[in-house]
Amino acid sequence: MFNLVTLRDELEKFRTLEDEQFVIRMDASEAAIYGDRVVALLHRAHDTLCAKYGLQLDGRTTVEVFPNPDDFAVRTFGLPGAGGYLGVCFGDVITANSPAAQVTPTNWESVLWHEFTHVVTLNLTANKMPRWLSEGISVYEERQRNPAWGEQMTPAYRQLIADGHLSPIRDLSGAFLSPPSPLHLMFAYYESSLVVEYLIAAYGFDALKLVLADLREGVTINDALQRRTAPLEELQAGFDAYVQQHVAAYA
């Protein structure tokens, strides 16, 4: 039976890599293989994203990478068996499954870049942001780092759009709450990233930063969007046209 004593024993096999910005814990055998690359990538993410969003992180970020998915689940959720997650961010703490924990190969670099983006946006907003915007920015920043990273248009997503499954921006958080299938959940990540991409393309990156500042002050997301961009009806119409451009380009 899996228990917390087992997790403690497993953690004793970990190696800690730390400096002034990060405390990184990895399985010792994995750290020997690619630990230096993890450190380098996280420092690139820190320098790039903190400068871009105008954030000064006062403390260190803890990053724990687990080769055993049950260890990850217990550390993250308190129980083993929570599948479907590559990484989770709790403000200044990131937990992630290593490539060894995945049946299907995953890109650990894009996962850590995604999760560190959450560190930035959650700190900027004092954790006062809807899930769709948090995930949308993280997926968007994955693609900014590398066009091959992050969610991309696919035939399945194109069909969902054709079938009318785009969620209105005002209700986009609901797409994450009870999706009818895993495909619909991943589509929610993709649509959210497209909203972020559209906001920046149409209104500028500073508008997005102002939305994040408003959220920190307790302004609701829909009010912040209207203050910094356009009335929601106008914003929705512009986004719908933007999505159709992507559909046509993909076709």
Q: What is the pLDDT of residues 190-243, one digit of tens each?
A: 999 999 999 999 999 999 999 999 999 999 999 999 999 999 999 999 999 999
Structure tokens belonging to residue 44: 């690139």
Partners of residue 16 on adjacent β-strands: 25
The counts of H helices and E strands in the chain are 10, 5
Q: Is the pLDDT of residue 51 over 50?
A: yes
Rounded-to-10 torsion of CA 38, 42, 44, 50: 180
pLDDT at site 9:
57
Q: Is the pLDDT of residue 6 over 70?
A: no
